[in-house]
Structure 1
Amino acid sequence: MDDYFIKHKMREYDVRASFVGVQSGEVLQLLGDDSKVYNLCSISKLVTSLLCLKLFSQKKIDLTSKICEELLNFENVEIDVEDCLRHVSGIEDIEEDFMPNQSISKNKLLSNIKLGEYGKFLYSDHGYMIVQYFLEQKFGVKFENLVKQYIFAPLSLNSFKYINHRSEIDAKTYCIGYDPKGAPIKESYSIYPYPAACGLWGNGKDIMILLQEVTAGLRGESALKIDQDIYSLFMKSKYEKWLGIGCFLEGEGSIVEFSSLGWGEGYQSILASIPSQNRTIVVLTNKDSGKHQLESFCGDVYRSWVSTIE
């Protein structure tokens, strides 16, 4: 994979800006402007999961804490933190609750909660927001401050920021989003003011650092000082063999890959890692292809990376 390949694919898919980071052992390759800031959308969930594992490692929370009893007043509901992180809580999303450039109050979001089948995969932004409210209630501080204290500051992830308002956007470094037809999206940027679920923005350099931390932690070399046994929960399946904590799993034996995908109005991204081989890839773009990531620019770049793996 080289700069020519990336630029060729950008032209093919009409992608205006992209970042591609690839690590193979000690060799690190960065293609594109690693200082540009992208909407990371649902990759936010990987960060939320990492925060929960960090707090669990310090015995500040229990992943089996029953959170619905405290926040939703549901009786006889055994949903815990880990269930929400794995998308098996049965909590159903209401699409209009997570539209860009609009804000819904905590009370309204919680009042919209509906329960489906527990223990079955059901992708849930609501579930992650419930984890956020649980943490804020327990620690008495904003979720953003918790993440900054325990994750961003120790790893020096200086570009990472949860954006809640258009006024927080720096037009010099933040990439404008584009729709499937190649036109700038309405209001130029899609802002999702739901930090734990989909509110994170960041640049390529910092997302690579984050991914390197997760990969190193799974090998017992965490800069955040999270025990390897706790880190391994990321890649331990429950209910579904392809479902980790805050990520998706593929493969078996020593060749298991975890991945996280981001998709919002104007932006798509994918990151993947095979920790046992210290191989990772990050692909960030400022275009919503209108298709799944694997059917667009992100997918072609990802498959090029996969083709190099033995």
Structure 2
Amino acid sequence: MLGEDGDVAAAGVGLLAADGQRPVGTASMFHAASMSKLVTAVVVLRLVARGLLDLDADIAGRTGGWTLPRAQSDAAVSLRTLLSHHGGIEDDDDAFGPLRDGQATPSLEEVLRGEHPLVPRPVRGVRAPGEAFVYSDAGYCVVEQVLASSTRTPFAELARELVLEPLGMARSGFGVPPRDDADVADGHDARGAVIAERRPDYPYQAAAGLWSTPSDLALLLRELGLALRGVGALGIPPSLAAAQPAPAAGRPVGGPRRAARRRARAAARGLAGMGRGVPVHAPRRAARGPRGRRDDERRPGRAPGGLDHGSRRRAARGGGAVARGLRPRQRAVRPRAPRARRAAARGSAAGSRRRSAGGRS
């Protein structure tokens, strides 16, 4: 837990594996999955702050012996668009899972060229950069290639030098921890059973290769907050720190739901890592109407959650559907009177009108 004063408090609860008795401690390491992308972004920002990289320049010529195939040859792909998942790159549904027993670890260029069973098709642009948000592990593999080509340093070493060591993240690193480190959580499949490989190995380090502790990740989050105020330890200026989470313009396409479906399929094959393939981590979908819109988008006056603004005001005053114990979007139905009573009421109303007409004449 990260306190308001920046202090980090931690406690361990539970077991490191479902088939053992090793307890979780405050220094226990977990596969941090896509939290790797945050560390990757901070690595890039440090190099930008040093003048070694340009956040908005085209990556052409900075990817070593590999070139990104583009949907539009004249469209610039920048580090900013790649880091914000707007680079025009989409992951294939069956790609970017963990290594299985006996599979060789691919090189980064083998991943980019689609020359490994885990990535059977080449990484490529399928739409114009900035056109849409598409969550992409492949985009971060391209970032990793830019970093490797620009610095001539392996990514794990670069991240340790620029981020992990300066922040004191002593129990964090890219790559599966050594077997002799027993204070590491094992991976589990969707049924809660320990996977055969014990520790999931994702060879795409910049996208998903981080192992860390909650306390170490809190140190990273604290640094980002300090950088916004210009007092961070990494020397990232506030302008860059503020730009880091800002997405480029574009409509969302696929996004985390596509990634969640891919990871759910990996979980069904027994390949899920810690927080990486378990379907319960997928974003919750809003209910869809007959035209594909969410129920809370059907009318301009309807507020999120399915109640229009008038219903919310009535609920706040103690009335409305919520106060009467009804579910949102469920209308209260007034009980109908028996047919004979309705007929009598109509006859009485008709008689009243005739008497009124006679009185006026």
Q: Tell whether the structures are fold-level matches, with TM greater than 0.5.
A: yes
Seen in structure 2, the aligned counterparts of structure 1 residues 237 and 122 have a Cα distance that, compared at 3 Å, is closer
Q: Give the corresponding residue for 1:100.
A: 98
Q: Per the alignment, in what secondary structure is the counterpart of residue 291 of structure 1?
A: helix
Does the Cα contact within 8 Å between 1:72 and 1:110 map onto a contact in 2? no
1: CA distance, partners of 2:179 / 2:217: 18
Structure 1 residue 240, shift from structure 2 partner: 5.1
> 1:78 matched to which residue of 2?
76
For the 8 Å contact 2:86–2:248, the answer to whether it is kept is no
1:180 corresponds, among 172, 187, 190, to 190
Contact conserved, 2:59 with 2:78, CA < 8 A, in 1?
A: yes
**Cα distance in 1 for residues equivalent to 2:108 and 2:141:** 9
Alignment of 1:28-67 (within 5 A): 28-32=8-12, 33-67=25-59
Structure 1 position 156, deviation (Å): 1.7
The separation in 2 between residues aligned to 1:265 and 1:127, in whole angstroms, is: 21
Paired residues of 2:228 and 2:238 also in contact (CA < 8 A): yes
Q: SS at 1:40's partner residue?
A: strand
CA contact (8 A) 2:98 2:200 kept: yes
Q: Does 1:292 align with 2:278?
A: no
- In structure 2, the CA distance between the partners of 1:73 and 1:40, relative to structure 1 (3 Å rule), is closer
Q: Is the 8 A contact 2:199 2:273 kept in 1?
A: yes
- TM-score norm. by structure 2 comes to 0.59
TM-score (structure 1 length as normaliser): 0.69
Change (3 A) 1:27 1:133: closer
Structure 2 counterparts to residues 216-231 of structure 1, below 5 A: 216-231=226-241
Paired residue secondary structure (1:115): coil
Q: Matched residues in 1 for 2:6 and 2:59: separation?
A: 41
Gaps of 5+ in 1: 1-20, 243-262, 270-287, 296-310
- What percentage of residue pairs aligned between the two structures are identical? 27
Give the partner amino acid of 1:47.
V
Instruction: Name 1:204's counterpart in structure 2.
Output: 214
Distance (whole Å) between structure 2 residues aligned to residue 212 and residue 27 of structure 1 = 9
Question: Shift in Å at residue 173 of structure 1?
Answer: 1.1
Contact 1:92 1:124 in 2 (8 A): yes
Q: Which has the higher strand share?
A: 1
Q: 2:245 aligns with which of 203, 221, 235?
A: 235
Q: CA deviation at 1:291?
A: 1.6
Relative to structure 1, the CA distance from residue 289 to residue 77 in structure 2 (aligned partners, 3 Å threshold; closer, same or farther) is: same
Letter matched to residue 272 of structure 2: E
Q: Is the 8 A contact 2:133 2:251 kept in 1?
A: no
Letter aligned with residue 155 of structure 1: L
The alpha carbon displacement at 1:49 in A equals 0.3
Residue 22 of structure 1: CA displacement? 4.0
Q: 1:156 aligns with which of 134, 153, 168?
A: 168
Q: Does 1:110 align with 2:105?
A: no
Counterpart amino acid of residue 268 in structure 1: G
* Post-superposition offset of 1:131: 0.9
Shift of 1:84: 0.6
Deviation at 1:68, TM superposition (A): 4.5
* Alpha-carbon distance between aligned partners in 1 of 2:95 and 2:191, rounded to the nearest angstrom: 25
Residue 51 of structure 1: how far off its partner (Å): 0.7
Q: Distance in 2 between matches of 1:185 and 1:130?
A: 29
Question: How far 1:26 sits from its partner (Å)?
Answer: 4.9
Partners of 1:163 and 1:169 within 8 A in 2:
no
Paired position in structure 2 for 1:12? none
1:73/1:188 CA distance change after superposition, 3 Å: closer
Alignment partner of 2:273 out of 266, 272, 287: 266
User: Secondary structure of 2:244's partner?
Assistant: helix
Check the 8 A contact 2:84/2:247 in 1, yes or no.
Answer: no
Partner of residue 157 from structure 2, selected from 145, 164, 173 = 145
Mapped pair 1:214 → 2:224: yes
Shift, 1:58, TM fit: 1.0
Provide the alpha-carbon RMSD of the alignment: 2.5
C-alpha distance in structure 2 between counterparts of 1:210 and 1:241, whole Å:
29
Q: Secondary structure at the match of 2:219?
A: helix
After TM superposition, give the deviation of residue 182 of structure 1 in Å.
1.7
- Count residues in correspondence: 235
The change in CA–CA distance for 1:160 and 1:241 in structure 2 (over 3 A counts) is farther
Q: Residues 213 and 39 (structure 1 numbering): CA distance in 2 closer, same or farther, change over 3 Å? A: same
